Amino acid sequence: MSMNREGRPTRPEAGEGTKTDTFTGNRALMLEEPLIFELKEEEGTGVDFADAPQVESRLGGLERNRSIGIPGLSEPQTVRHYTRLSRQNYAIDLGLFPLGSCTMKHNPRLNEKVARMPGFADIHPLQPTDTVQGALGLIHMLGEWLIRLTGMHSVAMSPKAGAHGELCGLLAIRAALEARGDAREVILVPESAHGTNPATAAFAGYRVESIPANERGRVDTEALKERLGPDVAAVMITNPNTCGLFEPDMIEISEAVHAAGGLVYCDGANFNAIVGRVRPGDLGIDAMHINLHKTFSTPHGGGGPGSGPVVFSEALTPFAPLPFVEQQGEHFALIEEETAGEHHGQGFGRMTAFHGQMGMFTRAMAYILSHGADGLRQVSGDAVLNANYILRQLEDVLDAPFGDSGPCMHEALFSDCGFQGGLSTLDLAKGLIDEGYHPMTMYFPLVVHGAMLVEPTETESKEALDQFIGALRSVAERAKAGDQTLKAAPVHAPRRRLDETLAARKPVLVYKEPERAQAAE
């Protein structure tokens, strides 16, 4: 054994093997963490307060008379709790996150810095508008960029996320149709659409009908044209679509819908593929939402907040929601209910309490200014190049159902065709976790069996792509060879596969102290 002079071993000995059980259940840097309710300090707190002045209470006899049951932790305990939890998450900061249709690109830290400037973060939505001219100016500036990048006529900034933007677009369409006394009942949605599309259409009071895809992964244009008629309010179409392909008939489709008296909604979730190269306004689109948390790099935050501004054609502009910002000379006005009457009387109303996701606008603006018109064009070019590189490097080992129909856009679609031994897309995905990757989107779009939708984004280097391709190839080969060890994957993650059936059958949605849980049974 090698030792230094104090007797401390300086070289590992050939070990006895791997003993995995530990006293704590921890595995070195992989630390188990209890719930805050189990760490509980009923009377603990991590915040100090000044003494309250002595006054006569004016609570009208509504004083709380029972405990809330929320534990408090000191600052060191709190920091440690959440830091430990954070380490059980995969994230873009750790590696490639190829979740198709989610555009998990790098989140620049300049965005975070700008969003936290007190001039943006510490202002109230109901301050007099002449005290927030910089904020209104920023909303207007971002809106102008979005209008120019999409070739559209106007923009509604208030929608809170993509699905909220879809709702905004459909309500404007409905308001426009009602204004011309043309009540229509049906929205056509391709079968490959995101689930939010039919859900939004139903939420807006429409009946949804599905349009099939053709064998090339595109909307069946003839079937769509055949279905058009006086009852069809709009077509909701995703372009580039959820198979990662551009709809080459888009202009023809728009013209046919317009000729039949309907309007065209475009789901802009995949705008990252075409930003700076193709303007939806040139494709006959009437309304499209833009996910700032996809194309424009605002962080996904473990599931939001997002932001879903909607751009409109000239035909829909009068029906856009309130409030919005309007430049009047040097001044930026906030057009709300009281001033809308003068020149925006047909607007369909308010969608949210205030003016939209300001904290996301500042981040998106920082991103857009950083890239500029030239950089954004490079963004879509690199995003599409990266996806095609993955598609072509893997199509010999993974079935690419539409690989023969030409280049893909920003994401590559594969199927589970050829997997042996009962192995599925899920098994492959869990195998990728052991390789150190977040899996791709699984089982979506529904038009492909065992779909795997891989979106690398433009913020990956060639070396990162090559390593990912190697890992995916290795796992795919195991799936095709029927390697049953994949069924046990992941084995290196903080948790093995979780029992989703149990979770749904006996839902436990809040913590109950053991004594309370027992009493309830």
Partner 1 sequence: MRYLPLAEADRQAMLRAIGSNSVEDLFVDVPEGARLSGKIEGLADHATELSVERQLGTLARRNLVAGEVPFFLGCGAYRHHIPASVDHLIQRGEFLTSYTPYQPEIAQGTLQALFEFQTQVARLYGCDVANASMYDGSTACWEAIVMARRIKRRGKTVISAGLHPHYVGVAQTMARFTGDVLDVALPELTDGAPGDDADRLLAAIDGETSAVVVQYPNILGHVRDLSEIAERAHAAGALLIAVVTEPVALGLIRSPGEMGADIVVGEGQAIGVGLNFGGPYVGLFACKEKFVRQMPGRLCGETVDADGKRGFVLTLSTREQHIRREKATSNICTNSGLCALAFSVHMTLLGEKGLRQLAELNHAKAVAAAERLSKVPGVELVSGPFLNEFTLRLRKEARPVVRAMVDRGVLGGVSLGRLYPGAEALRNGLVVAVTETVTNEDVEALAGALEETLA
| # of chain residues touching partner 1 (CB under 8 A) | 207
Please write down the long-range contacts of 151-154, taking CB distance under 8 Å and 24 or more positions apart: 151/279, 151/280, 151/281, 151/282, 152/279, 152/280, 152/281, 152/285, 152/288, 152/311, 152/312, 152/313, 153/281, 153/311, 153/312, 153/313, 153/314, 153/317, 154/311, 154/312, 154/314, 154/316, 154/317, 154/320
* Of 307 and 317, CB closest to partner 1: 307
517: left (phi over 0), alpha (psi -120 to 50) or beta: alpha
The stretch near partner 1 (CB under 8 A) out of 372-380, 396-404, 415-423, 471-479 is 372-380
| 231 part of the interface to partner 1, by CB under 8 A | no
Interacting positions 49-78 with partner 1 (CB under 8 A): 49-50, 52-73, 75, 78
* Of 259 and 373, CB closest to partner 1: 373
User: Which of 344, 287, 340, 349 minimizes the C-alpha distance to 315?
Assistant: 287
| 224 part of the interface to partner 1, by CB under 8 A | no
Sign of CA dihedral 298, 304, 305, 306: positive
| 265 part of the interface to partner 1, by CB under 8 A | no
Which member of 194, 289, 344, 480 binds partner 1 (CB under 8 A)? 194
| 237 part of the interface to partner 1, by CB under 8 A | no
Smallest distance, Å, CB 52 to partner 1?
4
Q: What are the distances in angstroms from CA 500 to CA 282, 503, 504, 505, 506?
A: 45, 5, 6, 9, 10
Specify which residues 332 forms β-bridges with: 327
Which member of 152, 310, 358, 423 binds partner 1 (CB under 8 A)? 358
* Residues in CB range of 198: below 8 A, 6 or more apart: 187, 189, 208, 210
Interacting positions 460-489 with partner 1 (CB under 8 A): 460-462, 464, 488
* Of 218 and 478, CB closest to partner 1: 218
Instruction: Mark residues 129-158: x for contact with partner 1 by CB under 8 A, - for none.
Output: -xxxxxx-xx--x---x--xx---------
| 304 part of the interface to partner 1, by CB under 8 A | yes
Smallest distance, Å, CB 261 to partner 1?
19
Q: d(Cα 103, Cα 272) in Å, to the nearest integer?
A: 8
| 30 part of the interface to partner 1, by CB under 8 A | no
Which member of 98, 309, 318, 439 binds partner 1 (CB under 8 A)? 439
| 41 part of the interface to partner 1, by CB under 8 A | yes
* Residues in CB range of 19: below 8 A, 6 or more apart: none
Which member of 37, 179, 470, 484 binds partner 1 (CB under 8 A)? 37
Smallest distance, Å, CB 107 to partner 1?
5
